[in-house]
Amino acid sequence: MAIDKSNTEPTFEEALNELENIVRLMEEGNLDLEEALARFEKGISLSRICSKKLEQAEKRIEMLLCRENGDMVLKPAGIMEEKDE
């Protein structure tokens, strides 16, 4: 039996990929006004999905960085931390 994905929200990666495709199509400038507006509306929706998923990920990270006593352990968001010289 096939899984019906029509009512499920896309993953972050799927939404971002589709958003990138929409931006590329719109930048090409070959869409008529109605199609461009439809794509823009879909892009806004995808942008909100991506934003929501990033906020959820940030909250999960904050939860993981909490100490057992509830104090937050803040770490820099950069990929590489600078070493003390």
Q: What is the pLDDT of residues 51-80, one digit of tens each?
A: 999 999 988 887 777 766 667 666 655 544
Let me know: does 73 contact 38? Beta carbons within 8 Å.
no
Res 85: pLDDT: 38
Domain ranges of the chain: 12-64
Comparing 64 with 32, which gets the higher pLDDT? 32
| pTM assigned to the model | 0.67
pLDDT at position 44 over 50 = yes
Instruction: Provide the pLDDT confidence category of residue 36 given band limits of 50, 70 and 90.
Output: very high
Which residues face 66 on adjacent strands?
A: 72
Other CB atoms within 10 Å distance of the CB of residue 43: 18
